[in-house]
Amino acid sequence: MAEDAAHILNGPNLNLLGAREPAIYGTTTLAEIEAACREKAESLGLSLVFRQSNSEGELIDWVQTARAEAAGLIINPGAYTHTSIALLDALSAVDIPVIELHLSNIHARETFRRHSVTAAAASGVIMGLGAAGYPLALDALKRIINKGRA
């Protein structure tokens, strides 16, 4: 495990940020979010792996990779938040801090979006803050990592 590595994983349709439902998800693109995360990670002394996939299986593979390579994991599971027991199982198997992240406040959305299956495996959840939630998640992750080392 890399002591100062953070992995950020993004689920389905997040590659469409900036164009997809901007009233809900904002106009910031995933590339812009990644750039902000890289800057924030560097300021925190963290190396960063930043990925996006529309495939549940690929996300699970990346969670398992993070288990061996990262000190902590941030995940925006997208719609898999509400449906994926397989992703929950993968997240539950990691022995590193996990922060679940959502651009929108899922509790203020459609009824089917108000429950997170995957949050049960998370150390914490950040939601409703748009793209600004990503750097905040990195701050929180770094604090949790440092606390675990103390």
107 labelled catalytic: no
Active site residue 134: no
Spell out the residues 6+ positions from residue 30 whose beta carbon is closer than 8 angstroms to its own. Answer: 10, 14, 15, 17, 18, 52
Set 7, 25, 80, 134: catalytic member: 25
Catalytic residue among 102, 107, 115, 134: 102
Q: How many CA atoms lie within 13 A of 41 on its CB side?
A: 21
- Taking the mean position of all CA atoms in its chain, how far away is CA 139? 13
Residue 139 to residue 150: CA distance in whole angstroms: 17
> How far is residue 91's CA from residue 119's CA, in Å, rounded to a whole number?
9
Q: What residues are labeled active site?
A: 25, 102
